[in-house]
Amino acid sequence: MHFRTFAGFVGPSVFLMLLFIAAPLVGVFLGSFQITQPVVEQVEVETCTPGFLTQTCTTELVTRPILDENGNITTTTEWVGLTSYIRVLEPGRAWDAVRDLDYNALMQIDFWAALRFTLMFTLVTLPLVIGFGLAIALAVNNVARSIKGPVIFVSLLPFIITPVVGALSIRWLFIGDGILTSALEMWLDRDLALFAQAWTIELMMLFYRVWHVAPFAFVIFYAGLQTVNRDTLESAIIDGASRWDRLRYVIIPHLMPLIVFVALIHLMDSYRVFEEIVGFSSQAHVISLQWLTYDFLQPDDAGNRAYSRASASAMLTMVGIVILLIPLLRRTWRDHKGAPH
Amino acid sequence: MMIKKLALAGALSLIAGTATADCAFENETEVRILSAAFEAWNAVTEAMAECGNVSAELDQEFRTKQPSAFAANPSLYHVGGVSNGTITPLMNEGTIRPLDDLVAEYGQHLSSNQLIRINGEILAVAMMVNTQHLMYRADILEDLGIPVPTTWEEVLAAAEVIREAGVVDYPLGATMRAGWNIAQDFNNMFLGFGGTFVNEDSTPNVNTEAGVRALEMMMRMTEYMDPEYLVSDSTYVQQQFQQGRIAMANLWASRAAAMNIEEESQVVGLVATAAAPTAMPGGSPATTLWWDGIVIAANISNEEAENAFRVAMEGLDEEMVRANNDDAIWLVPGYQPSPLAEGAIATATAEPAPLSYPSTSQMGLMHTALGNELPAYFTGDVTAEDALAAAEAAYITAAQEAGLLD
Amino acid sequence: MSDRPRAMRQPVSLRLGSAAFLAFWCLIASFPIFWIAVMSFKAPVDAFAANPLDVILGPATRAAGQGLSILDIAAGLAVLYLTVRFAMRWLPGRVAAWSPGGQVWAGWIIGGLAYGVAFVVVFLGVLPVVLGALNPVLGPLGKPVLGLTTVHYHSVWVENEFYRNFLNSLLVTTGVVIVSLTVGTLAGYGLARSGSNLAFWLLIVALVFRALPHSVLVAGYLPVFINSAEWLRPILGDNAPTLYGQPMAVIAVLVSINQPFTIWMLRSFFQNIPAELDEAARVDGCTHFQAFRWVIMPVMWPGVITTGLFSFLLAYNDFLVTSLLLDATNQTMVPAIAGYFNRETTTTDQVEAVAAAVSITAPLFLLVMIFQRQIVSGLTAGAVKG
């Protein structure tokens, strides 16, 4: 295919990605080395605010930005090198904690706590999602034709449901004296507060993510199972392979590309875990990397957004995901080199 | 009952094409409003919409959107709904206009109490006050012979008695959800212990005796609370009250009316309000005063601004207050305080009076820093001093980025 | 299954175990959704009651005079069962028969919509009227046993005008699916047929783009969109639009964010269409574009439908982008629901939010019911080989 034809085909797609993904990304990259701040002045200001019957007036020294003749805030932008990265990573404190083998102190630094949870979340859910997806696919493949349709339908529900709604529905089952908490309390005969400590919240988040994503793995694997070569299976039986051997040596290798595909998608999605933090309002106990970026970007009551630190944390997040993806990318590269065209 | 079906999903536009007789004039120019989403704003924007050509946006994201929407030229909205917490960025960026001329021409009926003056200039018109104050189950306190507590020590003593009597699941409730809420609870207590958040040179000043005492007092409160307090926001505490699961809480005045909604409350008529307890004997109530009101954008033409102000005045008239009397502690003439408003009024008129929540950049940064760092103390990971030191460090980083500190 | 060789038949223990596991999974998969559906029909006191029986039976709701009799329940279940059955058995055949050749997807859209409307009319329109007449006649069978009220749905859809959000969702979702597929099929085809390193690196970059946290990108859009009238003025003159709040702008953003996934999926599909097909066409004198139009397009529909479903889910379920970039008049359903929770709420609001949440799930139900086979067969056809 000529380059011009190729460009004609991929042009619109590449244009959109450049405009809406690459351009902001370059901005974020540059922004992580800069700090833009308003030029401020201190002035004495008298503020009168209402009480119930009469006003109270206070005079205080207030810092406020200087406005230029167009009414815009005067700002200065400086290149600050790695300052923002240092503010996010806090290497000094982190190193002290590592040297003293003080895990708790390390977890007091937001970035490292977020990294710990994000990695744990990604690596724990990955095998669970693949395992459950495969188990459901095998089980569904096993049931009678007549109920296959409804079973597939029900199995897909957690995946198609809007994530915000899904997370809330799980939350309602557990929060306060939600019915599942009550049920657990009856069963264990003790008072439970599932939202009161980190590990129970983490368990619920893991449960939610596996619940939400396993159907995706299921439907992909199920599709793959439909194309397993009958002849290979039958010759395996003739060779006396047990059920387990067939699964291990025929079915799994056949599904391997799909397992890689699901793993790839799941790694990327769970590494940017975010809805769970919001949905379970867990920020007091656990935070994730994307939530950290989001939190930097939320304007505080003074209207400031920590753009520089948000950019730095976003770049760090990106470096992390690229490192996680490298093994899978190498596989793709080998496939690409080996693929016939 | 006083509950009206909320007519708005998170945000909703009321494009009233027809002006009704309730409005003094027929509005010809479009007026767009962006405000927070709660019952009082609902009432006010509906009253404004009677003039026609009004589109109101009641949005939970307004805090994020308002500064940039008002900074656009022309501004995306004409009228903004703000509180003393959220007016700061608009004031700093100069995107709202002084209202002295407009008040002189169209706002003679406003009481001087409603006019928010900054250096003598009117920048906003307040419509209501809000504050966190003590709400308690009058029946329980009476049964157990407990007088209404006026200090936090008394609250804790009362909580002990209630716990021993075992009449509710948890004696206390508090809005201590990690983030904005827990920081606000700390602010209340910190001010109650006589603390000041920042020094004159913008350096932080919370890692002090007052800070530690405030945190320790809050920690003692948590013994009497639902252990899930780090996820409990105002709605959660309100529901705990409604379901009869708690007996006392320092809760927003704007939540009081919900206690008497028959469809959802099991404690109708049993909840009473009192002034926020003091942290120290003889101190001011450990709380802050808030106001909500309207501002007019700077980046619009004078004619549009004039028109928008007239429409806003229609929304803040006596008629609106009479129709929605219990939705807020209104500052608008015509308001008849209900029994549930007693606590808020007692708080606001206490001697010495609690401070208004300060509308400064430093406070905004400090509030965010506290909200992020204090939960670690309550999960037991760090000491009070360490949590406050971490909050100060976070504040310093943010203040350096905002150019407030070198 | 009787054609299975003897050795492939499974021992009873395995079959039982597998069936038990599946039953357990189905319970877990459907329970949370079932539960919010139950909550949405109850008075607030019942919906948040601690005792699960109270939530299901709804004593307070029944006390308020709203409930279902045994007859109501039986009739309702019958209609639901028939709906599902017809959707799976009868509808696919009808659609295939009635739609013009090659335009099956259009037939599905129209058929699905018509079917949905018919269901709503029968279930919410005809059924209550008929049962309302029957119930008083039947004595004990007609007495309410199950508390149930539709008042929350009424306030959501009628008083809160949730249908506006629904229409906005429809607009955004349709836009995203159409643009995404148009742009994506072209790119997917180009990438599948080009073995160049450039194509490979494009795919890798797209993969990295897909991994990016969205909050980073979205926060970058907000100031640009809000001020677009200002910076577009030199180019477009005084009619420069404010992009903030425009559904079109949101469609462009969602399409771009979803582009990496779309082109990867579609590339895999096209790789499974033998290259000989279009090469033969090109030998006959077609250009690449003509070969694509006349040879590939007729056979690519299974893949496009599957990919389209994923695009649909993304656009329909998106919260981050739509909540930040759309204003009230153009807001879609998901941010509208989140809005119920984030403002100062009463318990009634929360139950209304639950009702709204269930409402937005209903179209998804219908969609999956109808397209279920297409998803599986589409994936089997090869979307997932790469």
pLDDT in tens, C319-336: 888 877 777 677 888 888
Cis peptide bond N-terminal to B352, omega within 30: yes
Scanning every residue of chain B, which has its alpha carbon at the shortest distance from the alpha carbon of C44?
A: B264
Judged against a pLDDT cut of 90, whether residue B218 lies above it is answered with yes
The pLDDT of residue A285: 80
Q: Which residues of B touch C327 (CB under 8 A)?
A: 11, 57, 59, 76
Q: Which residues of C touch A143 (CB under 8 A)?
A: 18-19, 22
Summarize the confidence of residues C86-95 as an average pLDDT.
76
Residue B358's region, left for phi above 0, alpha for psi from -120 to 50, else beta, is: beta
- In terms of domains, do C151 and C222 share one? no
Judged against a pLDDT cut of 50, whether residue C248 lies above it is answered with yes
Nearest to B64 among A52, A63, A299 (CB): A299
- Please determine, looking at this structure, whether the domain spanning A103-338 carries the CATH number 1.10.3720.10: yes
Q: Which residues contact B93 (CB under 8 A, 6 or more apart)?
A: A65, A67, A73, A303, B67, B70, B71
Q: Which residues contact B29 (CB under 8 A, 6 or more apart)?
A: B53, B303, B304, B307
Q: Which residues of A touch B90 (CB under 8 A)?
A: 303
The pLDDT of residue C229: 73
Beta strands B170-173; B246-252: pairing state = parallel
- Stretch 233-272 of chain A: residues touching chain C, C-beta under 8 Å: 233-234, 237, 243, 257-258, 261, 264-265, 268, 271-272
Report if residue C365 sits inside a domain. Answer: yes
The pLDDT of residue B212: 93
Q: Is A281 exposed, middle or buried (0-12, 13-18, 19+ CB in 10 A)?
A: buried
Average pLDDT over chain A, rounded to an integer = 82
Shortest Cα distance from B5 to chain C (angstroms)? 7
Nearest to B9 among C162, C222, C244 (CB): C162
Q: Which residues of C touch A310 (CB under 8 A)?
A: 216, 219
Final residue before a domain boundary, out of C130, C155, C180: C155
Residue C143's CB is within 10 A of a number of other CB atoms, namely: 14
Q: Tokens 């795919």 identify what position?
A: C203
The pLDDT of residue C324: 76
Which carries the bigger pLDDT value, residue C10 or residue B262? B262
User: Are B116 and A48 within 8 A, CB to CB?
Assistant: yes
Final residue before a domain boundary, out of C106, C126, C155: C155
The pLDDT of residue A124: 93
Range list for CATH 3.40.190.10 in chain B: 31-130+290-342, 131-288+344-348
Q: What is the ipTM of this complex?
A: 0.82
Chains contacting B (3 or more CB pairs within 8 Å):
A, C
Angle of CA points A52, A56, A62, to nearest 5°: 130
Q: Which residues of B touch A298 (CB under 8 A)?
A: 64
Judged against a pLDDT cut of 80, whether residue C64 lies above it is answered with no
The pLDDT of residue A176: 67
The pLDDT of residue B16: 36
- In terms of domains, do C99 and C241 share one? no
- In terms of domains, do C57 and C205 share one? no
Shortest Cα distance from A199 to chain C (angstroms)? 21
The pLDDT of residue B9: 32
Counting residues of chain B whose pLDDT is more than 70, the rounded percentage is: 94
CATH class of the B31-130+290-342 domain in this structure: alpha beta
- In terms of domains, do C120 and C207 share one? no
User: Are A45 and B118 within 8 A, CB to CB?
Assistant: yes
pTM for the model: 0.82
Residue A197's region, left for phi above 0, alpha for psi from -120 to 50, else beta, is: beta
With both helix axes pointing from N to C terminus, report the angle between C12-40 and A145-160 in degrees, rounded to the nearest 10.
50
pLDDT (tens digit per residue) in C200-239 = 888 888 888 888 778 777 767 777 777 777 777 777 777 7
Report which residue type is found at B319: E
Scanning every residue of chain C, which has its alpha carbon at the shortest distance from the alpha carbon of B58?
A: C328
The pLDDT of residue B60: 64
Nearest to B92 among A51, A61, A64 (CB): A64
- In terms of domains, do C149 and C228 share one? no
> Is there a contact between B256 and B343 (Cβ–Cβ < 8 Å)?
yes
The pLDDT of residue B219: 93
The pLDDT of residue B391: 92
The pLDDT of residue C103: 67
Q: Which is the CATH superfamily of the domain at B131-288+344-348?
A: Periplasmic binding protein-like II (3.40.190.10)
Scanning every residue of chain A, which has its alpha carbon at the shortest distance from the alpha carbon of B237?
A: A176
Please give the backbone phi and psi of residue A80, each rounded to the nearest 5 degrees, phi first: -120, 15
- Stretch 274-293 of chain B: residues touching chain A, C-beta under 8 Å: 289, 291
Residue extents of the structural domains in chain A: 3-86, 103-338
Final residue before a domain boundary, out of C106, C125, C155: C155
Summarize the confidence of residues B254-264 as an average pLDDT.
82
Nearest to A209 by CA among A125, A150, A313: A125
User: Are B401 and A35 within 8 A, CB to CB?
Assistant: yes
Q: How far apart are CA B66 and CA C242, in angstroms?
A: 15
Least confident of A306-320, B350-364, C186-200, C343-357: C343-357
Provide the CA A71 distance to its chain's centre, in angstroms. Answer: 40
pLDDT (tens digit per residue) in C119-147 = 888 877 787 778 777 777 776 666 677 77
Q: How far apart are CA C336 and CA B40, in angstroms?
A: 19
Report which residue type is found at C98: W
Summarize the confidence of residues C43-61 as an average pLDDT.
75
User: Are C367 and A160 within 8 A, CB to CB?
Assistant: yes
Which carries the bigger pLDDT value, residue B195 or residue C66? B195
Shortest Cα distance from C222 to chain B (angstroms)? 8
Expressed as residue numbers, the domain containing C292 is: 162-383
> Is there a contact between A169 and C32 (Cβ–Cβ < 8 Å)?
yes
User: Are C219 and A305 within 8 A, CB to CB?
Assistant: yes
E-strand spans in chain C?
A: 67-69, 144-147
Looking at the structure of chain C, the number of domains it has is 2
The pLDDT of residue C100: 67
pLDDT (tens digit per residue) in A253-310 = 888 888 888 888 888 888 888 888 877 877 778 888 888 888 887 777 666 777 888 8
- In terms of domains, do C128 and C249 share one? no
Shortest Cα distance from C45 to chain B (angstroms)? 5
Summarize the confidence of residues B341-358 as an average pLDDT.
85
Summarize the confidence of residues A168-183 as an average pLDDT.
78
- In terms of domains, do C107 and C252 share one? no
CATH code, domain with C224: 1.10.3720.10
